[in-house]
């Protein structure tokens, strides 16, 4: 069976798309990452504030996730040098671009998972 050039192109695009999609899901789908993104959608927070808003996450795992999100350019760590040192975490433009996706998933969860 011969595959047309158009079909080959469509399959190649699908494979490339699936690869990027999988990469995105693996990034934001890690345990607690979605919850961290959700609480940061409302604005910058200190480490302790994120920990309070994301129940059951350990300091070690929160620190690991924050470093991963920072390395990916989704979260920015800001240190203020006015008075006592204050460290806050905020979403970058790249992180804010996830807002429609995070909101849609939150809405889906409310609509479909609350029915159990």
pTM over 0.75: yes
Going from N- to C-terminal start, the domains of the chain cover 1-30, 31-113
Residue 1 clears pLDDT 60, i.e. is over it = no
Q: How far is CA 10 from CA 5, 14, 15, 16, 26, in A?
A: 9, 6, 9, 10, 24
Residue 115 is encoded by which pair of tokens?
A: 């029915």
Q: Say what the pLDDT of residue 3 is.
A: 65
Within 10 angstroms of residue 98's Cβ, the number of other Cβ atoms is 20
Span 12-31, mean pLDDT? 84
The pLDDT assigned to 7 comes to 83
* pLDDT of 82 higher than 90: no
Q: pLDDT: is 89 or 116 the higher one? A: 89
CATH topology of domain 31-113: Arc Repressor Mutant, subunit A (1.10.10)
Whether the per-residue pLDDT at 61 is higher than 80: the answer is yes
């Amino acid at each position: 069976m011969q595959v047309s050039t158009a079909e080959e192109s469509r399959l190649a695009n699908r494979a490339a798309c699936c690869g990027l999609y999988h990469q995105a899901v693996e990034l934001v789908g890690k345990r607690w990452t979605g919850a961290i993104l959700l609480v940061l959608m409302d604005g910058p927070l200190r480490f302790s504030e994120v920990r309070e808003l994301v129940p059951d996450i350990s300091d070690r795992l929160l620190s690991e996730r924050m470093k991963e999100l920072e390395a990916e350019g989704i979260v920015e760590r800001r240190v203020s040098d006015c008075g006592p040192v204050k460290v806050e975490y905020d979403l970058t433009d790249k992180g804010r671009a996830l807002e429609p996706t995070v909101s849609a998933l939150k809405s889906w969860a409310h609509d479909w998972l609350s029915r159990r």
